[in-house]
Amino acid sequence: MKQIAVDIRDIRKSYTGIKALQGINIQINSGELFGFIGPDGAGKTSLFHILTSLVIPDSGSATVAGYDTIHDYREIRKIVGYMPGKFSLYQDLTVDENLKFFAGIFRTTIHEHFELYKDIFAQLEPFRKRKAGQLSGGMKQKLALSCALVHKPQLLFLDEPTTGVDAVSRTEFWEILQRIKYMGITVIVSTPYMDEAALCDRVALMNKGSIMAVNSPENIVRSFGKNLYAVKSEQMFPLPGLLATIEHTKAVYRSGEYIHYLNEKDDFDPVLIEIYLRACGHGMIQVHQIAPSIEDCFMVLMQQSKAQKAA
């Protein structure tokens, strides 16, 4: 039986009338690399603040490694590492000084658990005497991660750790997270990047304070259940509105240079799309079936959620 690292039960939180979290229920297993995936305003940071004992929920409860986030906050702060979305280390201290400072807070040294972050520190080695504020975005993230790991936490919370860094640094960072996971640390990460969902063991798709789906990325895509079509024409601006008027339309949304279209009918014939668009005066029409991605799953779930709330 898998051990539960995080247990969230009906967590709710509002700020001046805005519902940041609306009844969150989820369990995260020990040793997982778990991702909360969603856009800005989804509630990811609010949830992380509650789980790391920085904020008290309006209602509901949560435990981290068996400790209650309200009553046992001192114990939680000893066993978690937290890397906030905004770089929050001391920018006028050097790389070495920041590491020594955070090691001192947890009554350890930078050498005691050095095995845990030595691969990360190897990349920081040339900049040890450089002030944190003068580091590149990617190096700032690596320093912040090293400081979060310096006391060998049981759980590591990373709030949008790759936002604002280049593609190479993003790839390197996720490779580091995989290694940390295999060292026995539960890694919980939030991100707005849908492509990063595939790098997690399981994900929760979040939007406007609610969880829309929880599963492995593969199972979420597998549950899509309908044929998805990419549509293009010479008149792209009015295209979504036209497609939405087709009978039994389930979802229509822009995705790159195409409009993605989903119909409720299992026997829907995509030829009808081309016929309809030609009748509406469109030319250079392209319609082809595509495999859904995690982003498609998110978009369809989001539109379903909007429709349910409007009903």
pLDDT tens per residue, range 38-73: 999 999 999 999 999 999 999 999 999 999 999 999
Contact 127, 161 (CB under 8 A): no
Q: Model confidence over 141-194: pLDDT tens digits?
A: 889 999 999 999 999 999 999 887 788 888 888 998 999 999 999 999 999 999
- Tell me the mean pLDDT in the region 18-37: 96
Rounded CA separation 181/28 (Å): 14
Looking at residue 138, its pLDDT comes to 85
Contact 217, 197 (CB under 8 A): yes
Rounded CA separation 11/22 (Å): 7
Among left, alpha and beta (phi > 0; psi -120 to 50; other), residue 270 is alpha
Give φ, ψ of 216 to 5 degrees.
-70, 150
Report the 10 Å Cβ neighbour count for 229. 20
Planar angle of CA 161, 53, 141, nearest 5 degrees:
15
4-220 falls under which CATH superfamily? P-loop containing nucleotide triphosphate hydrolases (3.40.50.300)
- Tell me the mean pLDDT in the region 231-243: 95
The domain limits of the chain are 4-220, 225-291
Burial (CB count within 10 angstroms: exposed 0-12, middle 13-18, buried 19+), residue 279: exposed
Q: Six-digit token pair at 211?
A: 């969880």
Planar angle of CA 151, 153, 156, nearest 5 degrees:
125
Q: Six-digit token pair at 23?
A: 């009844």
* pLDDT exceeds 70 at position 1: no
Architecture field, domain 225-291: 2-Layer Sandwich (3.30)
